[in-house]
Structure 1
Amino acid sequence: MKKSFYKLSISRAEKNAWSFNKALAPENVVTLNVLISIEKLIQRRNEFKERNEITPSFTALVIKAAAITIKRHPEANRAILGLPLFKRLYQFTNTDISVAIEKSLPFLPGQPFVSPIRNPLGKSLQQITEELKNLAVAQEQDNEDFKLYMNILRYVPYPLSYLMINFPIWFPSFWSKYRGSACWVNSPSKTGADWLQTIWPWPMSFSFGVVKKRPMVVADKVEVQETMPLILVFDRRIMGGGPAGRVFATFAKVLETADPELFESSFQQGVG
């Protein structure tokens, strides 16, 4: 009988990257989601277009909203890190937000490379948007972190490569350097799915779905509005459902109301 499958001949880099998937399944996670209207946010984005300025991307807006949220709720900016039997709860004082950047290997399209956006509260939305664009096209020769990541994938045999990639889980200084704070932002559903819930090593994972018009009830009437699905995946060892719900409510409100703090750096720097 003719076989209907065959084994791919893959490189060490591809094998290592594939093996890391099991690192992206932390236990004890809970998921919250909500659909919000972003009519006010769209209006503010259009103001940038009218001034012929760089229009903030939705990812940039969500990154800054996440940073504002953990600044207002420092209890959410914590992680359980350390070697086995020596794990401790650590409080982060930075608001660096990590984001996934799609980089492809021949048999692993869309393999994520993680890069923290440093101090998003001190940057304008336009600066964050440009930084995201640069990361998307970055190559090894112009991004030291990406070069280090690819060198580990290519040249370090498994399981040593697995241990190196996961140093941040065991050593807080590595976490702060390579993964930022306790918060992470991604948008895996931007390719088409309205909602997609994922699990990552970060204790607080903020995601958003496809932005599009959907029916919403406003003042007891059904209206078609621009909407954004929001998802929070959190480690229930860090906080319970009540505190996490309040954190999520703050995050949603910042975006739904187009909180002025989202745009403060832009106007203060004279580019908004």
Structure 2
Amino acid sequence: MAENIIMPKLGMAMVEGTVIAWKKREGEAVKKGEGIVDISSEKIEMEVEAATDGVLLKIEVPEGGVVPYGTVLGVIGQPGEQVGTASAAVSVNATAESAAALAVADEQRTKAGEPAATTATAVLDRPREGIKISPVARKMAEEAGIDYTRLTGTGPQGRITKEDVERVIQAGGQKALNEVAQDAGAQKSAAPVAEGSGRAVSTVSEKQPERIPVSGMRKVIAERMHQSLLQSAQLTITMQADITELLQLKEKLSSEMERRYQLKLSVTDWIARAVVLSLLRHKQMNSAYVGDRIELYEEVHLGIAVALEKGLVVPVIRQAEHKTLAELSSELKSVSARAKQNQLAPEEMKGSTFTITNLGSYGVDTFTPVLNPPEAGILGVGAAKDTPVFVGDELKRRTLLPLSLTFDHRVLDGAPAAAFLATVRSYLEEPHSLLV
């Protein structure tokens, strides 16, 4: 009996998901538990596994399709088995959703002014199976009587887009396409020869840029960051913290922490503890601008930015003010590891009241982090460097850590923001206070 591949619901807030890539083609054999399609929703990407042995009878939603959860993405069954009417009925909705999503993507590319070919491009007749074409482009081509199998697409991986079909229509439709194909055939059979030489003149074709659809995690990040800059008054200030003593204390405690908690404290752990204690003393920074009011939070839900191969996620440590340095370190390592393995639930990436982002491992000194809306503050951490510093009249070698604080000027002014950052620096320069 045929088995439907369903778009799963990844969290309570999920409305729709995106098909990123099919790992099998129609007619190919699949085994139970084998990854068959990659999907994404907001900040989560996952692989959907086959629920049974068989072959992939039908792909209902193409790559790039955006459909509601519960939609049938494809069907697995036995060779020659007929696909049931139930899955076919759902697939109509899935295809319609995908067509709408692709139409919006095509329109956005046009508005963005992306370069496109100025003339129609034709190729020899090809079988319709395996041709990558958006549903909107296919419908336009069929209505205009254009044989889209003779088009060369300018979309991702050679996908034929709405613009490709529109250019052919504007150039004269199928008649113009035939003429282009005839000209191409004539040029191929008789290569031009330069005067006074027996060598053929080579023609150089301009390479089209790779076009990558913005979807899934990348789309969510793009929308949130753009919204953040549009809807807040962001300002960044910087300081340096002398963490020489912190590094010495960290080294002294390393063996005890490993023996007692099986933990190896990182500098980020100490910074997180310093930020939490500072937020308790500066509640204006532990806040958000919501509607026409400022919300001050009693609890500290600390967000930690984690870089992934395809984007960025911010897992949240809830009620961080109740956690010791060791407990905070343990939870930070847990959520970071699960984030990199794509094992976080959507609920674990929501509700933060302040965020830390660290680019020190990349050698970055100072930078301007963008607020994670609707939070009022985000702390950027750079690379610590050994620097000659005057301590009294003596020149000593000290390790300085750059800190960049971006805050929402609608919530608080520069002076209280600077006071918060100074408190963070004070905790880092007096590391014993972080053990209390």
Instruction: Name the TM-score class by shorter chain.
Output: 0.7 to 0.9
Q: Hey, what does 2:297 align to over in structure 1?
A: 92
- Mapping for residues 56-67 of structure 1, pairs under 5 Å: 56-67=265-276
Alignment RMSD: 2.5
Deviation at 1:180, TM superposition (A): 2.1
Q: Tell me whether 1:74 sits opposite 2:283 in the alignment.
A: yes
- The one of 190, 198, 215 equivalent to 2:361 is 190
Q: Structure 1 counterpart of 2:278, which letter?
A: T
Deviation at 1:17, TM superposition (A): 3.6
SS of the residue 1:95 aligns to: coil
Deviation at 1:141, TM superposition (A): 7.3
Q: Hey, what does 1:165 align to over in structure 2?
A: none
- The one of 382, 389, 397 equivalent to 1:209 is 382
Aligned length: 224
Q: Is contact 2:299-2:319 (8 Å) kept?
A: yes
Question: What is the rounded CA distance, in whole Å, between the counterparts of 2:207 and 2:393 in structure 1?
Answer: 56
Indicate how the Cα distance of structure 1 residues 143 and 216 shifts in structure 2: closer, same or farther if over 3 A, else same: same
Question: What is the rounded CA distance, in whole Å, between the counterparts of 1:98 and 1:15 in structure 2?
Answer: 19
- The one of 227, 238, 241 equivalent to 1:23 is 227
Question: What is the rounded CA distance, in whole Å, between the counterparts of 2:316 and 2:388 in structure 1?
Answer: 35
Indicate how the Cα distance of structure 1 residues 59 and 4 shifts in structure 2: closer, same or farther if over 3 A, else same: farther
Indicate how the Cα distance of structure 1 residues 242 and 79 shifts in structure 2: closer, same or farther if over 3 A, else same: same
Deviation at 1:186, TM superposition (A): 0.9
Q: Structure 1 counterpart of 2:247, which letter?
A: I
Question: What is the rounded CA distance, in whole Å, between the counterparts of 2:309 and 2:423 in structure 1?
Answer: 35
Q: Is contact 2:234-2:408 (8 Å) kept?
A: yes
Deviations 1:23-74 (A, max 9, x none): 3425322221111211221122112224262232111211111111110112
SS of the residue 2:412 aligns to: coil
TM-score by length of 1: 0.73
Question: What is the rounded CA distance, in whole Å, between the counterparts of 1:96 and 1:14 in structure 2?
Answer: 22
SS of the residue 1:55 aligns to: coil
Q: Structure 2 counterpart of 1:124, which letter?
A: T
Question: What is the rounded CA distance, in whole Å, between the counterparts of 1:194 and 1:15 in structure 2?
Answer: 25
Q: Is contact 2:276-2:302 (8 Å) kept?
A: yes
Q: Structure 2 counterpart of 1:198, which letter?
A: P
TM-score by length of 2: 0.47
Deviations 1:103-162 (A, max 9, x none): 223xxxxx111111122232232332232222223167742227x98xxxxxxxxxxxxx
SS of the residue 2:403 aligns to: strand
Q: Hey, what does 1:134 align to over in structure 2?
A: 334
Q: Tell me whether 1:144 sits opposite 2:348 in the alignment.
A: no
Q: Structure 1 counterpart of 2:276, which letter?
A: A
Q: Hey, what does 2:414 align to over in structure 1?
A: 241
Question: What is the rounded CA distance, in whole Å, between the counterparts of 1:7 and 1:188 in structure 2?
Answer: 28
Structure 2, unmatched stretches of 5+, are 1-203
Deviation at 1:76, TM superposition (A): 2.4
- The one of 233, 238, 254 equivalent to 1:49 is 254
Q: Tell me whether 1:219 sits opposite 2:392 in the alignment.
A: yes
Q: Tell me whether 1:251 sits opposite 2:424 in the alignment.
A: yes
Question: Which is higher, the Rg of structure 1 or of structure 2?
Answer: 2
Question: What is the rounded CA distance, in whole Å, between the counterparts of 1:252 and 1:195 in structure 2?
Answer: 15
Q: Is contact 2:257-2:265 (8 Å) kept?
A: no
Q: Is contact 2:369-2:405 (8 Å) kept?
A: no
Q: Is contact 1:77-1:92 (8 Å) kept?
A: yes
Q: Structure 1 counterpart of 2:227, which letter?
A: A
Q: Is contact 2:277-2:321 (8 Å) kept?
A: yes
SS of the residue 2:315 aligns to: strand
- The one of 192, 210, 216 equivalent to 1:7 is 210
Deviation at 1:259, TM superposition (A): 4.6
SS of the residue 2:415 aligns to: helix
Structure showing the higher helix proportion among its residues: 1
SS of the residue 1:129 aligns to: helix
Q: Hey, what does 2:313 align to over in structure 1?
A: 113
Structure 1, unmatched stretches of 5+, are 106-110, 150-177, 265-272
Q: Is contact 1:189-1:196 (8 Å) kept?
A: no
Deviation at 1:92, TM superposition (A): 0.9
Q: Structure 1 counterpart of 2:364, which letter?
A: A
Deviation at 1:5, TM superposition (A): 4.6
